[in-house]
Amino acid sequence: MKVEEYIHSLFTKDDAVLEQVLWSIRANGMRNISVPPEIGKLLTLLVKISGAKEILEIGALGGYSGVCLIRGLGKEGHLTSLELKENFAQLAHENVKKAGFGDRVTYYTGEALNSLEQLEKEQKRFDFIFIDADKENYPNYLEWSIKLANPGALIVGDNVLRGGRVCDNSYIDAQTDYIRAFNERLAKDPKLESIILPIGDGIAIGRVKE
């Protein structure tokens, strides 16, 4: 048994709500690029441990990670989720409603960079930011996340190892280069303290210093 299978078998269990989300993604002919169950579980735990109240998600798809993030909130708290495609955001909202959290989420649709500018105009600030959208913009999303973060906030990014390609210097590919730049900024920015966990496709966790 591989390490990932071991972790998966021991720490994730059947989850009818999340299964329904995955079913709806397939039923709508969408590619399932939701986070895997162990990353979903980690997101729930990180939100709980951090005590975050205001969460920002960049990349909603069908609402899988959205449900996992809201599950980590206590009775208070809200998710703001950014999604390029109107129909994906609608599906995500339906799924979050089915999970019992319909009034705990707000979607902004269109280019996330425009939505981030809008959030800045609205003077919104967040305690937890999850980045899981187009890889080309990861460095921009990190820049925005630092601007929109409350002191002590967590900034979490998915797919930061790209199947191990980030550490193979002979591998030249634009998306991998953007992720390398994202990881380097996370590691070196004096405003952050960060680490990457090698689970799933690699998950980066940065904390904004107070």
Q: Which residue ranges make up the site for ligand SAM (CB under 6 A)?
A: 33-35, 59-61, 64-65, 82-85, 88, 111-112, 132-134
Least separation in angstroms between CB 110 and ligand SAM: 7
Which CB sits closer to ligand SAM, 134 or 177? 134
Least separation in angstroms between CB 153 and ligand SAM: 18
- CA dihedral 168→171→176→178, nearest 10 degrees, is 100
Place of tokens 């930061």: 160
Least separation in angstroms between CB 174 and ligand SAM: 15
**By beta-carbon distance, which residue lies closest to ligand SAM?**
59
Which CB sits closer to ligand SAM, 119 or 133? 133
Which CB sits closer to ligand SAM, 13 or 31? 31
Least separation in angstroms between CB 62 and ligand SAM: 6
- From the list 127, 129, 128, the residue with the least C-alpha distance to 112 is 129
- Please check whether residue 208 is in contact with residue 147, taking contact to mean a CB–CB distance below 8 angstroms: no
Least separation in angstroms between CB 169 and ligand SAM: 26
Which CB sits closer to ligand SAM, 17 or 210? 17
Which CB sits closer to ligand SAM, 24 or 183? 24
Least separation in angstroms between CB 123 and ligand SAM: 21
Which CB sits closer to ligand SAM, 4 or 151? 4
